[in-house]
Structure 1
Amino acid sequence: MHFRTFLKHERICQREDRLRAPERASFERSTARRALRGVAVAIALAVLSVPGWAQTADDLAKQYKMETMEQALQTKERYELYGLRFASDQATIEGDAKTLLDDIATTLGNYPEWHLRIVGHTDATADPAHNEALSLARADAIKAALVERGVDAQKLATAGAGEKRPVASNDTPEGRALNRRVELIRFTDSEAAKQLLKSMSDYLAKQQAISFDYDANLEVVTNDKQTLALASSGTVTLNRPDKVRTTRSGGFVDLETVFDGKTLTLLGKNANKYTQLEVPGTVEQIIDELRNKYDRPLPAADLLTSDAYAALMEDVYDSKDLGSGVIHGIECDFVAFRKDDVDLQVWIRQGDQPSPCKYVIASRLVADGPQYTVEFTNWKTGDAAVKDDFAFSNPTNAEKIDLKDLQDKTSELPSNFVRGDSK
């Protein structure tokens, strides 16, 4: 499963005839970016949809103390900063921000090992794309001001969230003022963690043939906040550049996917039906096609591309080397990475064959952090990999049907689970 595909499954409403709760807003995306925005807005409004505000942006700016900022960055690794003012719809820092900028520079001087991410936020009064660009420009302006004060630019990162992560309603002037803020995030930039991931990626890319078994768990959150895990197991056999066979069996699905370089076959064993598509291309093209067009992601798809490092590191701002762990009796290096939308954890076999042992994607934008976990066993490469002719066989005389009909019969979710409407 690709981490963007995982976001589609984060929020699921459960329906039972004998215990039917009122419908609530849940979170799915028609595209990754729309969903991330919608989830954040819904969470914020659910928490803060009360008349009036306990504290205004001006109150928070007046209460600011450098010691409070330092303590928050040290203990919580983040601080919401008010009082850094900009000219209207501009990225020009106004003159009264000098003290705040001096304090940030001094704090970083006091803690030279720290790295700081500066995230700009806006209200929703303008076009979303404009707001995102404006918030990034403002974060960049703060970074430039800190560099002028002697801060090492390599220790600073910037991002623009625009209006996507409000802390209050945009329906009132007070709420909009609270949404216009600067978020400071202390982060770790571990070269060791990145090098371990890069070594795994390079090793995987060199393998012409790969096969492995896997056990996966997709956690979902119901309307009444119960976390449930949908378990499945399967196999993957891959021959680069253009052949792959995967199976996935769970309590609600038994699916086989075969691609022989020209024809893609999807077989729903539980329904005894299949469909075929003529889509010549490479394994990577099929991974994208299955994920984006047919909503049928291959297991651990991020790791099967020719550059897993690039796929996993996109938008990562925090990386940690967390030592080692043992997965199925194999000692593995343990690394973790953070993006705005998800946390990633990877356990990598130690030694000269750094294959993945375990992979976890956890949501950061949905309460309770639902997550997808896959563990690998019987990992083999080269001549030791499982041999396969990648030809589709039909020993059960499965019926051939259209793709849309097969999709209805091979959902990985049970019938009493439904995804919520797009937000």
Structure 2
Amino acid sequence: MGDTATQYSREAMQQALQTREQYDIHGLRFDISTSTLRTGAEPLLDDIATALKNFPEWGLRIVGHTDSSGNPETNESLSLARAETIKAGLVERGVDASRLLAGGAGQNKPIASNETGAGRAFNRRVELVRITDSAEAKKLLKAMTDYLAAQKALSFAYDANLQVVTNTDQKLGLASSGTVILSRPDKVHTTRTGGFVDTEALFDGKTLTLLGKNLNKYTQVEIPGTVDHLIDELKDKYGLPLPAADLLMTNAYDELMQGVYDSKDLGSGVINGTECDSLAFRKDDVDFQIWVAQGAQPYPCRVVITSSQVMGAPEYSVQIRDWKSGDAVMQGDFAFKNATNAEKIDVNDLKRNLSDLPENFMTGDKK
């Protein structure tokens, strides 16, 4: 096991999972290019199983990691297979399989240089992550998304903040505000105003119009269908997500929960004077937290999304106010009238001017 074995103890592992919720084990060795554990792994598996028996409230996510040798896709599959092998070994030792999740990160999360043999050996590891699977958090999120999907009409104003990290590790916030009016199944009207952007989007079930008010230019795209279809097309085809887009979809719960491995109910909080349930969720690439209004209208009061795999962990937050639904929603106007004689241009030409970021900002590296 080399020098890393001297750093391991069952007590250190338990303490790390209690305090940091994460622990890297380097002593679990596999045969080259296989998911077969080498002889000598049994004591470590025994220790992990014992820790889980000592703390029956714990769930555990087992993540395999490789060095950069070989094909990235093959490494990802191999790392998952190795995590599944460890999971099977723990189940054999009496751990309930429902408490265990297996994941494979492949070569994507090195903790040492892959330029040396010692660094590559250090990157070949198994990460244990203590997880919480809160049935109450998922229940409250489901209630919120069911409520939103049932609303034939809704509207709200929002204040958003995009936190960016400079190459000198300074965190800067870019603020914007806007409005959303939604009429299911196929109409939506949004506005967004910030220091570098002033836009309006209108969708009448057939045509999407994007207007850059500060440029007095607009573009139109034919996207017939529902608001759900529009959101998917904007995100996947044009790279232009609507504000709080996932929350507006009729299958919002499935969209939000895809890839979630940790969920927490953090109790109550207060947003704009409204008492809310505070819920937190984790995925491989993002953490997100949602505050849901308590009572008969469980609408989202605030959403915070943190990019955990980007250097500096930039954050995007949306705080919602002036929530209305049903008959309280003022009738929206979803037709574009071009009252300012705006110039019509190609969608790609306008898209470059719809970002919250000024031109001198560039996307940074991953961790």
The question of a shared fold, defined as TM-score above 0.5 by the shorter chain, is answered with yes
| 2:338 aligned partner | 394
Whether 1:363 and 2:302 are equivalent positions in the alignment is: no
- Mapped contact 2:311–2:366 kept (Cα < 8 A): no
CA distance in 1, matches of 2:346, 2:270: 44
CA distance in 2, matches of 1:90, 1:291: 38
Matched residues, percent identical? 64
CA distance in 1, matches of 2:364, 2:49: 45
**AA at the equivalent of 1:378:** D
| 2:216 aligned partner | 272
Whether 1:133 and 2:77 are equivalent positions in the alignment is: yes
**AA at the equivalent of 1:106:** T
Q: Which moved more, 1:326-335 or 1:307-316?
A: 307-316
| 1:62 aligned partner | 6
**AA at the equivalent of 2:296:** D
| 1:300 aligned partner | 244
* Cα offset, 1:386, TM superposition: 2.5
CA distance in 2, matches of 1:345, 1:241: 27
* Cα offset, 1:422, TM superposition: 9.6
C-alpha distance after superposition, 1:193-217 (max 9, x if no partner)? 0100011011111111111111000
Structure 2: where are the runs of 5+ without partners?
Answer: none
| 2:19 aligned partner | 75
- Mapped contact 2:310–2:364 kept (Cα < 8 A): no
CA distance in 1, matches of 2:91, 2:362: 50
| 2:279 aligned partner | 335
C-alpha distance after superposition, 1:21-57 (max 9, x if no partner)? xxxxxxxxxxxxxxxxxxxxxxxxxxxxxxxxxxxx7
Q: 1:229 aligns with which of 170, 173, 176?
A: 173
Whether 1:145 and 2:89 are equivalent positions in the alignment is: yes
CA distance in 1, matches of 2:328, 2:160: 24
Q: 2:196 aligns with which of 232, 252, 255?
A: 252
**AA at the equivalent of 1:391:** A
| 1:23 aligned partner | none
| 1:106 aligned partner | 50
Rate the CA distance shift 1:131–1:377 in 2: closer, same or farther, 3 A. same
| 1:322 aligned partner | 266
| 2:33 aligned partner | 89
| 1:216 aligned partner | 160
- Mapped contact 2:267–2:278 kept (Cα < 8 A): yes
For residues 143-182 of structure 1, what are the structure 2 equivalents within 5 Å? 143-182=87-126
CA distance in 1, matches of 2:68, 2:142: 39
TM-score using structure 2 length: 0.97
Q: Which moved more, 1:230-239 or 1:63-72?
A: 63-72
| 2:297 aligned partner | 353
Rate the CA distance shift 1:79–1:420 in 2: closer, same or farther, 3 A. closer
C-alpha distance after superposition, 1:259-283 (max 9, x if no partner)? 1111110000000111111121211
- Mapped contact 1:235–1:247 kept (Cα < 8 A): yes
- Mapped contact 1:245–1:257 kept (Cα < 8 A): yes
Q: Give the alignment's Cα RMSD to 1 decimal.
A: 1.5
- Mapped contact 1:271–1:410 kept (Cα < 8 A): no
Rate the CA distance shift 1:173–1:189 in 2: closer, same or farther, 3 A. same
Structure 1: where are the runs of 5+ without partners?
Answer: 1-56
| 2:143 aligned partner | 199
C-alpha distance after superposition, 1:310-368 (max 9, x if no partner)? 11111111111000011001110001011121111000000121110000001212343
**AA at the equivalent of 2:185:** P
* Cα offset, 1:418, TM superposition: 3.3
**AA at the equivalent of 2:64:** G
| 1:287 aligned partner | 231
**AA at the equivalent of 2:87:** K
| 1:382 aligned partner | 326
- Mapped contact 1:139–1:160 kept (Cα < 8 A): yes
Q: Which moved more, 1:61-70 or 1:373-382?
A: 61-70
Question: Comparing both chains, which one has the higher relative contact order based on Cα–Cα distances under 8 Å and sequence gaps of 6 or more?
Answer: 1
- Mapped contact 2:311–2:364 kept (Cα < 8 A): no
- Mapped contact 1:121–1:182 kept (Cα < 8 A): yes
C-alpha distance after superposition, 1:84-117 (max 9, x if no partner)? 1112111112221110111111111111111111
**AA at the equivalent of 2:195:** G
| 1:29 aligned partner | none
Partner SS state of residue 159, structure 2? strand
Partner SS state of residue 145, structure 1? helix
Partner SS state of residue 93, structure 1? coil
| 1:4 aligned partner | none
* Cα offset, 1:162, TM superposition: 0.7
